[in-house]
Chains A and B, each alone.
Chain A
Amino acid sequence: MATDTNAELGEIQKYDFRTESEAVFKARKGIDAEIVNQISDMKNEPDWMRDFRLHALSVFESKPMPEWGGDINLDFQDIFYYLKPTNEQGKSWDDVPEEIKDTFEKLGIPQAEREYLAGVKAQFESEVIYGSLKEDLTQQGVIFTDTDTALREHPELLREYFGKIIPTEDNKFAALNSAVWSGGSFIYVPPGVKIEFPLQAYFRINAENMGQFERTLIIVDEGAQVHYVEGCTAPMYTTESLHSAVVEVVVKKNARCRYTTIQNWANNIYNLVTKRAYAYQDAVMEWVDGNLGSQLTMKYPAVYMMEPGARGEILSIAFSGKGQHQDAGAKLVHCANDTTGQIISKSISKNGGRSSYRGLARVEKGATNSKCSVVCDALILDDQSRSDTYPYIEVAEQDVSIGHEASVSRIGEEQLFYLKSRGLSEAEASTMIVNGFIEPLVKELPMEYAVELNRLIQLQMEGSVG
């Protein structure tokens, strides 16, 4: 179908463009103490952060590669760990170097900012190159900045929370991020402040063999509320790039945080991310995690319910196409009584893609009267594709309710025939069935993101049939 192919090419080109951008500083390839010190020097960091990085480097070097999940064929010495695209962060898009501004224009970020966002951060390679926040939020004491700036301007908050939710020792890639982190978002929402519109960050890898290691820390103080959204893209190169973020979220008493990710990495990106939230008394933490693109994604957003009444909800969508492996899932850890957790995972595999759900539901001693429900559904579009489920359930209490349901289905010949008998082409029918499959999750998204996700799914579906 010629028209579909053209449409697909047009859509792929939307993300697959490379900006000719001269970095103002590029560390040499590879990772060692010299590189880590250089990054810390460039950023003019306090000693405690330099020590934190160097310690993390030794942890990274001592930890073996994970033996589960996907195949990681990365040469850690063949990656650029730090690439500074510009000297100054723009407060207006006019301050951003033309070619970088152009990149984000093409991705539609300034327009989205004008239309429905309360604040924006745009990261290009290693640094946040643009930041904005609505004036009234600044006046209410909301902080939305990049994590490097936060380290300079709010050292007390960083010392208290940085690396406390996800310790350096947690896993090899969290250690790597801790050693070479750069950029990422820092958000602080003061008690009782409810931010109506989403705050958005957009992460763009432009260079080849680039590693992007943003570090995000979100603190939602008592009774406050925030919705943070991140989008991620990169152009296609012949060699792999690495994205390895660490995201820590603290949701205090009666507060609420929703963290939405719609990532659409190029198919040669390793996306190895650690995301974890602590939810305190009667707090609500929600992860909405949409994983499209990448060569391999390993990502399991977690909610630790630390105090009674805390609630954790994780909605996960994974779409694996040709040559892709999405090893995605979620973790719920009930550390206190009367906590409630829910995981809903939907995965789609096509054209030989592989989707794995890997999830943990853990109830610790003392977490009585906790409820935990896990539902994971997989849809397989053809015989070449694969889906696996790895549920881990650990329960140390009697008086709890744990539910786990899993289903795997193939797009049925009968469903296709029914839709075709009403005049829908095979491609339209498949897309409709896939969109229907993820509908329960999409309807949770704000309209703009639901539209974006549906468009990305459409893009993945085109050319997959006939």
Chain B
Amino acid sequence: MNDVLKITDLHVSVEGKPILKGVNLTIQKGETHALMGPNGSGKSTLGLVIMGHPKYEVTSGSIELNQIDILEMEADERARAGIFLAFQRPIAIPGVKMADFLRHATSNVRNPNRKEGEDLIAMKDFRKELKSKMGQLKMNTEFARRYVNDGFSGGEQKRAEILQLAMLGPKFAILDETDSGLDADAVKLASQSIAEIGREKMGLLIITHHDKLLESNPPEFAHVMLGGQIVETGGAELAEELYSNGYDRIRTKYPDASADNTAMEESETVGA
């Protein structure tokens, strides 16, 4: 069966305030989707909601993975079911070594029924695989002994996210501005790494302001988000247009969504 991630009329609030207002999006295995839009449009929220962040309340709509509703699942169950989110701002876990963290993560995702305290994947195999994946990403092996995201530079954080993507091999991956903070070479490596995992083996949702990742991963679909809705969907040419010309045309065409977006953007600024 072909894997499908299907989001239907998704409405999401934070502390009673609506953020997503009816998002529809279907991603099939092997497809790459670009999700673009101005600040505050709800792109990152969508990524976090798909992953199951407890802060967001889904007020209506559904998210289905292969026709199974995942909204009732905890984030770890979703991860084990094959969903992955590369965080825009990865969280530091001081004192926890990358290798230990990744070994637990990999064990759980590959053996979704694994219970706490049960065997982890064999150390020898794990080390070998980790070393080879780190090699592909041109990461120093010392990286595995560092604490998760603790004191990482922006580029290191993003590489570490790609490394996790490579180790976990999900069915669907959401990359939230994974290209920001990376220089051109690093973006190339990240793209190669995604190619290595096999774009045809998973569905990709790439959230981006830039076109760096999209250059080497040309999307079949591009979506524009504005004011908590996907207002327009097209092909790679739409992504190119938005990258070159910005969102003026979109804002003019969808004045209501644009007004919503402006309001959300402002409250985001106040909140920050």
Interchain residue pairs A-B with the least CB separation, the first 10: A436-B95, A439-B95, A423-B108, A436-B96, A422-B105, A420-B75, A423-B79, A418-B91, A420-B76, A423-B109
Tell me which residues across on chain B come within 8 A of A422, comparing CB atoms. 76, 79, 101, 104-105, 108-109, 164, 168
A421 touches B101 (CB 8 A): no
A423 touches B96 (CB 8 A): no
Tell me which residues across on chain A come within 8 A of B90, comparing CB atoms. 418
How far in angstroms is the closest Cβ of chain A from B198?
20
B127 within 8 A of A: no
Cα–Cα distance between A177 and B191 once the two chains are bound (Å):
69
Find the B residue at minimum CB distance from A461: B116
Tell me which residues across on chain A come within 8 A of B55, comparing CB atoms. 413
How far in angstroms is the closest Cβ of chain A from B7?
17
Tell me which residues across on chain A come within 8 A of B84, comparing CB atoms. 421
B85 touches A421 (CB 8 A): yes
Q: Which of B21-29, B46-54, B259-267 contacts the other chain? A: B46-54
How far in angstroms is the closest Cβ of chain B from A275?
26
A435 touches B96 (CB 8 A): yes
Interface residues contributed by chain B, number (CB under 8 Å): 34
A45 within 8 A of B: no
Tell me which residues across on chain A come within 8 A of B93, comparing CB atoms. 415, 418-419, 432-433, 436
B105 touches A423 (CB 8 A): yes
Task: Tell which of A7, A413, A426, A437 touches B76, judged by Cβ atoms closer than 8 Å.
Answer: A426
Contact code string B112-139 (vs A, CB < 8 Å = 1, else 0) = 1001110000000000000000000000
Interface of B with A (CB < 8 Å)? 51-55, 74-76, 78-80, 84-85, 87, 90-91, 93-96, 100-101, 104-105, 108-109, 112, 115-117, 147-148, 164, 168
Cα–Cα distance between A121 and B75 once the two chains are bound (Å):
49
Q: Which of A1-56 contact B (CB under 8 A)?
A: 1, 3-4, 7
Find the B residue at minimum CB distance from A414: B91
A72 within 8 A of B: no
Task: Tell which of B79, B95, B117 touches A421, judged by Cβ atoms closer than 8 Å.
Answer: B79
Cross-chain pairs A/B with CB under 8 angstroms, 13 sampled: A3-B115, A4-B116, A418-B91, A418-B93, A419-B101, A420-B74, A421-B85, A421-B87, A423-B109, A425-B108, A433-B93, A437-B94, A438-B95
How far in angstroms is the closest Cβ of chain A from B97?
8
Cα–Cα distance between A417 and B54 once the two chains are bound (Å):
8
Task: Tell which of B53, B80, B147 touches A423, judged by Cβ atoms closer than 8 Å.
Answer: B80
A403 within 8 A of B: no
Find the B residue at minimum CB distance from A422: B105
B contact face: mostly helix, strand, loop, or mixed:
mixed
Q: How many residue pairs, one in A and one in B, have C-beta atoms under 8 Å apart?
A: 95
A412 within 8 A of B: yes
A417 touches B75 (CB 8 A): yes
Tell me which residues across on chain A come within 8 A of B164, comparing CB atoms. 422
How far in angstroms is the closest Cβ of chain B from A30?
46
Contact code string A320-345 (vs B, CB < 8 Å = 1, else 0) = 00000000000000000000000000
Task: Tell which of A4, A7, A424 touches B104, judged by Cβ atoms closer than 8 Å.
Answer: A424
How far in angstroms is the closest Cβ of chain A from B169?
12
Cα–Cα distance between A436 and B96 once the two chains are bound (Å):
5
**Taking A417-B54, A420-B74 as contacts, is the C-beta distance between A428 and B91 under 8 angstroms?**
no
Cα–Cα distance between A440 and B84 once the two chains are bound (Å):
30
Cα–Cα distance between A417 and B74 once the two chains are bound (Å):
9
Tell me which residues across on chain A come within 8 A of B96, comparing CB atoms. 432-433, 435-436, 439
A427 within 8 A of B: yes
Residue of B52, B53, B75 contacting most chain A CB atoms (<10 Å): B75
A428 touches B104 (CB 8 A): yes
Tell me which residues across on chain B come within 8 A of A420, comparing CB atoms. 52, 74-76, 79
A7 touches B53 (CB 8 A): no
How far in angstroms is the closest Cβ of chain B from A402?
25
Cα–Cα distance between A428 and B54 once the two chains are bound (Å):
17
B76 touches A424 (CB 8 A): yes
Known: A418-B91, A419-B93. 11 other contacts (CB 8 A): A417-B54, A421-B51, A421-B52, A421-B78, A422-B108, A422-B168, A424-B108, A426-B76, A428-B116, A432-B104, A437-B95
Residue of A7, A415, A418 contacting most chain B CB atoms (<10 Å): A418
Q: Which of A379-423 contact B (CB under 8 A)?
A: 412-415, 417-423
Cα–Cα distance between A413 and B52 once the two chains are bound (Å):
12
